[in-house]
Amino acid sequence: MTIRSAGDLADAYDNGRWHIQRFFKNAMANAGDGSWIDWAYASGQPGYNARVGTANTFTPEVAIRNDAIWFPDIPAGMERRLTGIGFYTSATQSNQTNVEALLYDLVGYYPLIDGDSTDLQTMDNTLTLPRYTDGVGVRAVIVNHVAPQITSGGTHTIIYADADGTERTTTFGIQNAGVNRANSRIPSAAAGASGDMFMALPGRGVRNVKSIQYATAPGGLQCIYLIKPISYVSHRAGADIQNSPVFTQKCLCAEESLALPVIPDGASLGFFLLANGSARTIGGVSGTLTFAWG
């Protein structure tokens, strides 16, 4: 069974096959203009998660309990879909124009990559993707973690396997950003540019990362996330008043023409956030995700 039409969705709701799940995160002091931040490093529900493990080793992420945004189990043979997002933020001060929010499924990550080395760093791929196993739609992003600020500059090299299993080599840049922020960029945007957080890796997706090599040492410790983007909210954040509460509701049934994202078992759901407007940090985040299955 699955949800393929408005009738299927109505049947799911009529028969109680739906769930609304709340989430909240406390203030994110490292969030500010120009850089995406992973909310995992703030306390709340789901809890703090520093994305650590064995250095340079792929660590699959399968969510349990409070590891990520929770959702209920469903009967075998059914398929879970995301149908709506409710999103609330408040700015620590006035003049924060908006907050962009990307909902993602963290499929796995390569932690504790040495940012002080220019040697070739080979990744251990003994373990493989726990979901989206062919890599289609999986994107890579580098996050600076468990370390001080990094240095911009340089054109660095990554070798990876795309969704067709083809080994590819390409380059990427590093943005000067703070701890817990996404800092991978296309080479032309290496120095202080904001915008797309993802590494520009050709192909239909990423199956695994084989190695990286920094041309100039950026410093700190880096983590390569492999994530599946799920949905996106552009959220007006209260431009006039400090701590002004603003709520955005997105109905995917209407806005996405019933092209509802599938949420597989074990999905590790979280948000990347991008604040815009006068460098105001995010005072807090809360909201809901709505699921239905059939």
Give 286's pLDDT tier (boundaries 50, 70, 90).
very high
Q: Which residue has the higher pLDDT, 144 or 53?
A: 53
pLDDT of residue 19: 98
Taking the model in full, what pTM does it have? 0.91
Dist CA 210 CA 170 (whole Å): 12
In this model, does residue 60 exceed pLDDT 90? yes
Give 279's pLDDT tier (boundaries 50, 70, 90).
low
The 10s digit of each residue's pLDDT in 77-111 is 999 999 999 988 876 665 556 778 999 999 999 99
Listed ranges 17-31, 47-61, 151-165; the one with the highest mean pLDDT: 47-61
Question: Cα 77 to the chain's mean position, in Å?
Answer: 28
pLDDT of residue 253: 84
Dist CA 129 CA 138 (whole Å): 10
pLDDT of residue 83: 96
The 10s digit of each residue's pLDDT in 208-258 is 999 999 998 888 899 999 999 999 988 765 555 555 667 788 898 877 677
State the CB neighbour count (10 A cutoff) for residue 214.
23
- CB 169 within 8 Å of CB 203: no
DSSP string, 118-154: -S-EEPB-SS--SSSTT-BT-EEEEEEESS-------
State the CB neighbour count (10 A cutoff) for residue 288.
16
In terms of Cα–Cα distance, which of 34, 99, 38, 28 is closest to 281? 28
> Which ranges in 129-263 belong to alpha helices (H)?
252-255
- CB 267 within 8 Å of CB 68: yes
